[in-house]
Amino acid sequence: MMSQGTIHVVDDDTAVERGLRWLFESAEFAVETYQSAEDFAARYQRAAGPECLVLDLCMPGMSGLALHRTFDERSWALPVIYLTGHGKVPDAVAALRQGAFDFVEKPCADDALLVRVRAALTEDARRRARAEERALLSARIASLTTREHQVAMRVAAGLPNKRIAAELGISPRTVEVYRAKAMSKTGSRSMADLVQLVMRERGDGVAAVRATPRAP
């Protein structure tokens, strides 16, 4: 049976760690456990599917917050759910400001924790889908030659063929040829598809000219 996702658990309390493993595995999640933030930093490997991190806020050595602050430099993006003891809510609020997905105050009902974990995994799945879409978009745009890209950008801006031809110093017929090639390479079935593709590329800040397009 395939798991619904991977949950990484970091807690220095062995009893808590074992309890969480049992809870999550009984709900058919894959589980990886770590007894310290340092252990997670040394052993973490990105899962193939959706994942999240259930992280104890206060631990000996590196704290949960300190570990989370290293995520950007390590290019880690998994959602973090903090486990916090009584009276540590202000620290949990600071964690949310740092980008945590959620926090749970100990002790927490199993069902409530599972709800939050499932929400975190759903968010990670969406994040991965957006990243894959951006990568595909970048690859499609990068496949264009410089001239094809120039034509596609002007088509997306709503310029007519004669105006594009005048700006680029080519004939309107040549504009049509480059436009057709751009549509073919990007998998666009219509002019509207090509325009939407280019506009999404511009909106994501993925300029094809920065993707080193090939010469015409």
Which is more confidently placed, 88 or 170?
Answer: 170
Residue 208 has pLDDT above 70, yes or no: no
Residues 58 and 158 in one domain: no
Which is more confidently placed, 189 or 175?
Answer: 175
User: In this structure, is residue 25 part of a structural domain?
Assistant: yes
* Closest to 44 in 3D by CA, of 12, 91, 6: 6
DSSP β-bridge partners for residue 82 = 55, 103
Separation CA 13–CA 73 (nearest Å): 28
> Containing domain of residue 26, as a range?
6-130
Residues 66 and 147 in one domain: no
Residues 126 and 153 in one domain: no
Averaged pLDDT, 178-199: 85
Residues 191 and 126 in one domain: no
CATH, residue 82 = 3.40.50.2300
Residues 97-136: tens digit of each pLDDT: 778 898 888 888 999 999 999 999 999 999 999 888 888 8
Q: Which residue reads 């599972």 in tokens?
A: 114
Residues 52 and 148 in one domain: no
The pLDDT of residue 81: 94
Separation CA 128–CA 49 (nearest Å): 9
DSSP β-bridge partners for residue 6 = 30, 51
User: In this structure, is residue 216 part of a structural domain?
Assistant: no
Number of domains into which the chain is organized: 2
The pLDDT of residue 139: 86
The pLDDT of residue 203: 58
Residues 83 and 159 in one domain: no
> How sure is the predictor about 192, in pLDDT bands with cuts at 50, 70 and 90?
confident
Q: CA angle at residue 136 from 210 to 207, to 5 degrees? A: 20
Averaged pLDDT, 140-156: 89
User: In this structure, is residue 202 part of a structural domain?
Assistant: yes
User: In this structure, is residue 168 part of a structural domain?
Assistant: yes
Residues 151 and 85 in one domain: no
User: In this structure, is residue 138 part of a structural domain?
Assistant: no
Residue 87 has pLDDT above 70, yes or no: no
